[in-house]
Each structure stands twice: as structure tokens, then as C-alpha cells.
Amino acid sequence: MKDKTIGFIGLGVMGHSMAGHLLDAGYKMHLYTRTREKAGDLVEKGALWSDSVSGLAAGSDVIITIVGYPADVEEIYLGDGGILENAKPGTIAIDMTTSDPGLAERLWQAGREKKIRVLDAPVSGGDLGAKNATLSIMAGGDEAGFEEALPVLEVMGKNIVYQGKAGAGQHTKMANQIAIAAGMVAVCESLAYAGRSGLDPETVLKSIGQGAAGSWSLNNLGPRIIKGDDRPGFFIKHFIKDMGIALESARRMGLDTPGLELALGLYKEMADKGFGDNGTQALYKLFQ
């Protein structure tokens, strides 16, 4: 697989580290992002800059995308000058954006018509998982395409699971985000309670982080909350997007998700207060 050229689109908080790991692993790489400056250090390490999505798609064997919103995914794949219009037959395209499961199914079908294998493979683990190459990756699409892409995915993550047909990766990510949403409310409430009662929050974390209450959010974002570090490992504005997709998907299936609705409302309040570009742990501010 190392003889394949990878095209990488999207160098945000997570994408930059992910692309860097692939470059360090010896893959030839073409890069495209709306802000060219974000690619500067990767270009210095040997990546090639592409001026357009179409040029990147035409020159790549494997294309990875991790962008902001479903509308961005749709434009990059299906728009004029997009991936599916310009990639050659046999290309594997892996969308690692957290996006709409229905869109993932559409992309798979459109790719199939052009003999391009499209996988939906969103990730979990935030900036730390991306930096440490320990992301959880949940994949949907053709299993044969997944198996062929697995060596590439293994450079970026550790817990890599094929979930099923197209859209299954995105549905799994929605389940992940639903679990995180209510959990983040609980983490913030818990630390607010500890502080209000006069306890030392760091000492509290030593106890509850290793017990039944322990979670990734508590043990990784709890220390950031205590330090007042609101820098984004994952943006509030993107979490709101994810929760909105999950809520709509749940409603289409006739499923009530009251915990998700509560969390979404609180995070929207944070965005209205101007904290959309902060990390999800900034929700704690509502409880101070």
C-alpha cells in the first residue's frame, strides 16, 4: 500500500496530525485545504500541495477527507470539480468527517457508479487521539474496500472496526456522540459540585476517575476544566453539528433521546454566548 499516493483534504485540529502520521509512515501525499498556510510544515516535510480538489483527486489512489459539515462533504464529493467527477476508477475515497448517514449512503452509491469505492469512516478521540495516532475509527461501506484501506487507517488509529454497509460508520459515530453528549453534562455537573462543596477537584478526580464514574471525558477533559483550559480538542460548534445530525437521525427512527436534547440545548446556549470556537469542556462555564 505504501506505493499508493494519498490525497488528504482538511487540515484542522485533527486532520493535520492524521496527515502528518501518514507522511511520516512514508506515503506519498497530495494536500488540499482552504487555508494553504495550514499545510506549510507538511509541504516542508515532502507533501505536495494541490491547488484544487479536482487536481488532488485525479492524482491520488486513496483520498481521505475530514472537513467541517455535511454540506462541505457534499460539495467536495459531488460538486463541480469534486472527487467523484475527477478520481480514476479503482480509487478508494474515505470520508472521515462526522457527517449524515444518509449522505454517506448517497456517496457510496454515486461512487459505485463510477467504480470508486467510498467508505464512511468517522473518528473519535479528539486532538489527543489524532496526535497520538490512537483514534477509534468506525467504518462503513464495502468490506473489501475497508480491508484494502486498513493499512492506511492503522497509521492513524488503534481501535478500527468495520461496522457494515454504507452509512454504518456514521450511525456508529452518532451513537458515540449521544453517549458523549449527556456524559459531558455529567462531567461538568460533577466537577461543579465538587468545587461548590469545598473539595479539591484534582483530588476528587483521583478517586472518581478510577471508579465506576470513570470515562474518557472525565479523565481527559476533566483536568482541562480544572485548569481553565478551553482550547479545542473538538470545537463546540462542531459538536452542535454532530448532535443535530444524531437528533434528526433518531427522530427519523422514532427514537426519543432526552439526554441528547438536553445537552444540545446547553451547548447551543454556549454558542449563543460566543463560545462556539472553544473546546467542548468549556460547557463547565455554565455551571460556574
Splitting the chain (288 residues) into consecutive groups of 10 residues, what average pLDDT does each group show? 90 94 96 90 95 96 96 96 97 97 98 98 93 97 97 97 98 97 96 97 96 95 96 93 96 96 98 97 95
Count of domains for the chain: 2
Assigned C-alpha cell, 90: 479503482
160 and 17 within one domain? yes
Domain finish residue from 130, 165, 200: 165
Catalytic residue among 28, 131, 173, 241: 173
Provide CB contacts within 8 A for 196, sequence distance 6+.
none
For Cα atoms 237, 216, 190, give the angle at the middle one, nearest 5 degrees. 80
Collapsed DSSP state (helix, strand, coil) of residue 119: strand
- 121 and 235 assigned to the same domain: no
Q: What is the CATH number of the domain that holds 236?
A: 1.10.1040.10
Q: Are residues 98 and 17 in the same domain?
A: yes
Alpha helices per DSSP H over the chain: 15-24, 40-44, 53-58, 70-78, 83-86, 101-113, 126-132, 143-156, 168-196, 201-208, 216, 222-227, 236-252, 258-272
Task: Give the list of residues 6+ apart from residue 40 with CB closer than 8 angstroms, or none.
Answer: none
What are φ and ψ of residue 50, in 5° steps? -110, 140
Q: Please check whether residues 11 and 88 belong to one and the same domain.
A: yes
In a 3-state reduction of DSSP, which class is residue 9? strand
CA distances for 282 relative to 11, 43, 187, 233, 271, angstroms:
23, 33, 11, 11, 10
Pick the last residue of a domain from 165, 194, 224.
165
Measured CA to CA, the distance from residue 174 to residue 162 in angstroms comes to 15
Do 10 and 152 belong to one domain?
yes
Q: Are residues 154 and 196 in the same domain?
A: no
Verify that 56 and 92 share a domain, yes or no.
yes
pLDDT score for 1: 63
**Domain assignment of residue 67, given as a range:** 5-165
* Same domain, residue pair 129 and 226: no
In CATH, what number is assigned to the domain containing residue 95? 3.40.50.720
Residues 131 and 148 in one domain: yes
Q: Which pLDDT belongs to residue 288?
A: 84
All three cell numbers of 48, joined, read 505536495
CA atoms within 13 A on the CB side of 176: 21
Same domain, 139 and 24: yes
Instruction: Tell me, yes or no, if 173 is annotated catalytic.
Output: yes
Q: Are residues 22 and 146 in the same domain?
A: yes
Predicted local confidence at residue 278, as pLDDT: 97
* DSSP summary character for residue 288: -
Q: How far apart are CA 105 and CA 262, in angstroms?
A: 29
Domain boundary among 165, 187, 222: 165
Same domain, 150 and 229: no
